[in-house]
Amino acid sequence: MAALLEQAGSAVVLTGAGVSVPSGIPDFRSPGTGLWAHVDPMAVAHIDVWRRDPEYFWSFYGQRFHVLGPAEPSGGHRVVAELQPRGLIGPVITQNIDRLHHKGGATDVIEMHGSIAHGECLACGATVEFELLTTRIAAASDGVPRCDCGAPLKPGVVLFGEMLPEEATDRAFELCADADLMVAIGSSLEVHPVAALPAVVLRGGGDLVLVTQGETPYDDVATVKLTGDVAEELQGVLAAL
């Protein structure tokens, strides 16, 4: 992987939930421990649930903010951030909403699924930053943070039933079309349209490196796959560089 990074003219990183597991954030689908192991995501994290019953929605999502808010970057986040100023990678495309790439020092992050960094009001268009949003969650008697206009706030993440942000999606596909290397870290590469990004790189003749403990649909076509602890693997690559 170190050699591929040094040789690449244009490398892009794609990260999923696995890069944040060392930070104490559960992934989504691991049996018994994944975020969706004991709940139906369509019943708690769908845009229709937020519209229909914001109190029920925030009874679940408020817990996510409680877990994600104080989390600190893992060694994996910090390695990824260090590769940017060295000129070894370009932007980081992430499926994560936890802000940890920013906290870890990355300077160009494309958040495909939005972020908990803010809340948004769909009634008046206002944006409420993380600190104020969490204060309003804690202060609300029903647990529902509200905008100054009185409408319930929605987390700035892409919920089930919503479209991915067009600008982020377009930019990610354009970057991958020009990339000669993708490093996919901690992602099962099963959730579309993000799961199609490695194929874009491969169609252009680029290489694919996988750093993940689970299986992916791309295992047979990856140039390299590292299957150990994500943070330790990436720290090893940094040492090799």
Active site residues: 113
**Rounded Cα distance, 237 and 121, in Å:** 42
**Rounded Cα distance, 191 and 212, in Å:** 15
How far separated are the first and last CA of the chain, in Å rounded? 9
Side-chain half-sphere exposure of 194, counting CA atoms within 13 A: 26
Buried b / exposed e along 178-199 (16+ C-beta atoms within 10 A) = ebbbbbbbbbbbeeeebbebbb
**Residue in the block written with tokens 């596909």:** 173
DSSP string, 120-161: E-TTT--EEEHHHHHHHHHH-TTS--B-TTSPBPEEEE--BT
For 75, phi then psi, to 5°, come to -60, -30
The sign of the CA dihedral 29, 35, 39, 45 is: negative
How many residues in the chain? 241
The SS3 of residue 207 is strand
Token pair recorded at residue 188: 């099962």
Which H or E element spans position 58? helix 54-68
